[in-house]
């Protein structure tokens, strides 16, 4: 994604992971929850391809999953209260082949999913937009 670093800087986030991998960003304003609408507005300035998972150290119970225009597969386990993701279903199938209780999770393009630890099943899905290339 082009301008990804600019997005993180504008959001006052520090990159804690690798680009094209699993970025974990830390908000520099302690004690604040992730402002979803504010973040979505800044995505409009980005262009390219995006699918990413974002966490915030000051809001550790919330995880954002952006599924733009790249492949993303999710599986979830209700009893374990866990969500797993990969860039393709073959990876998750290989890891979870013998495991029970993991279910496919519907993922649509150009969506922002917000998971909260206390209620994974009550996740939010919101559309977002950016300059697809």
How much is the pLDDT for 125? 92
pLDDT digits (tens, 9 = 90+) for 41-76: 888 877 788 888 888 777 888 888 988 888 889 998
Say whether pLDDT at 30 is over 60: no
Beta strands at 131-132 and 47-48: parallel, antiparallel or unpaired:
parallel
How much is the pLDDT for 33? 79
Q: How far is CA 31 from the centre of its chain?
A: 21
Q: Tell whether pTM > 0.85.
A: no
Q: How far is CA 66 from the centre of its chain?
A: 4
125 vs 28, more confident: 125
Q: How does residue 107 score in pLDDT terms, banded at 50, 70 and 90? A: confident
E-assigned strand segments in 24-81: 25-27, 47-48, 51-55, 62-67, 73-77
Angle subtended at Cα 56 by Cα 60 and Cα 71, rounded to the nearest 5 degrees: 105
């Amino acid at each position: 994604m082009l301008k990804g670093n600019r997005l993180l800087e504008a959001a006052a986030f520090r990159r804690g992971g690798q680009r094209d991998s699993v970025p974990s960003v830390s908000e520099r304003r302690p004690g604040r929850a992730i402002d979803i609408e504010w973040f979505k507005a800044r995505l409009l300035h980005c262009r390219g391809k995006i699918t990413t998972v974002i966490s915030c150290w000051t809001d550790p119970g919330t995880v954002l999953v952006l599924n733009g225009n790249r492949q993303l597969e999710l599986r979830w386990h209700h009893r374990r209260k866990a969500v797993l993701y990969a860039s393709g279903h073959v990876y998750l199938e290989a890891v979870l082949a013998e495991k029970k209780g993991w279910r496919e999770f519907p993922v649509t393009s150009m969506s922002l999913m917000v998971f909260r630890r206390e209620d994974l099943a009550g996740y939010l899905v919101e559309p977002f937009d950016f300059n697809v290339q």
